[in-house]
Amino acid sequence: MAADRTGGPWGAVVMAAGAGRRMGGVPKALLRREGEPLLLRQIRLLHECGVAHVAVALGHHAPRLAPVLAQAQAGRLPGSARLHWAVNPEPDAGPGGSLRCGLALLPQPLAGVLVVLGDQPLLQLQDVRAVMQAWQARGAGIELVVPVHAGQPGHPLALGQAVRTAVMQAPAGQGVREWRRAHAGQVQLLDCGHIRCTADVDTPGDVERLQREHGVQLHW
């Protein structure tokens, strides 16, 4: 039997700690769609979906990304009053460490926590809302909602206190992926029917493909 759990504020962690090596060692989150850096686009989408608290996990490119976030705060980007960021000192140790940096900035309790990538250029409001709604109406025992397309898991993820606590206590190098493998029965897959939740940009070829196949232009 599904349970409706709609009360309380939401939080989110935006993952932006990677080195972008396959992109030439540049911060992918600063690619712009329609003039807006992808990092700020993600934060805006979260705010428009009603997410109250947003934490950004930085790493390799923190010296370039942190000023963008600070400028967004100074310019009063919607939702920036509750925008925080932290730097993972060991971003190559795996995404779990970066996620822990972000989760540590979020208050408790929360209705749910979204985990979003900083380089998802196709993500739309309805995609974020669909994951939030699936979490609110999840079945008993479900602790993680994962959007999928063509068998490929995507983002945003939605998780609650059980997974949050497990990730915070996990050994270095481990995170949601390892928890999911060990608790398959507590994971709900959300079939997207599209690639928006699974499409990110790792290479210049990905940028070209987005324009060719989806008409989305990204610029530095």
> In sequence order, what DSSP letters do the residues of the chain get, joined into one string?
-B-----S-EEEEEEE----GGGTSS-GGG-EETTEEHHHHHHHHHHHTT--EEEEEE-TTHHHHHHHHHHHHHTT-TTGGGEEEEE-S-GGG-HHHHHHHHHTTS-S--SEEEEEETT-TT--HHHHHHHHHHHHTPBTT--EEEEEETTEE-S-EEE-HHHHHHHHHSPTT--HHHHHHHTGGGEEEEE-SSSTTT----SHHHHHHHHHHH---EE-
Give domain status of residue 5, yes or no. no
Residuewise pLDDT in 10s, the chain (220 residues): 334 455 789 999 999 999 999 999 999 999 999 999 999 999 999 999 999 999 999 999 999 999 999 998 888 777 676 899 999 999 999 999 999 999 999 999 999 999 999 999 999 999 999 999 999 999 999 999 999 999 999 999 999 999 999 999 999 889 999 999 999 999 999 999 999 999 999 999 999 999 999 999 999 9
> How many structural domains comprise the chain?
1
Q: Which amino acid is residue 41, in one-letter code?
A: R
* Cα 107-113-115 angle, rounded to 5 deg: 120
What is the identity of the amino acid at 83? Answer: L
- The CATH number covering residue 107 comes to 3.90.550.10
Rounded to whole angstroms, how far apart are CA atoms 77 and 81? 8
- Is 2 a domain residue? no
Domain contains 206: yes
Whether 1 maps to a domain, the answer reads no
Q: Residue 96 domain-assigned? A: yes
**Cis previous bond, 204, omega within 30:** no
| Residue 3, in any domain of the structure | no
In a domain, 207, yes or no: yes
The verdict on residue 163 lying in a domain is yes
What's the domain range around 107?
Answer: 10-219
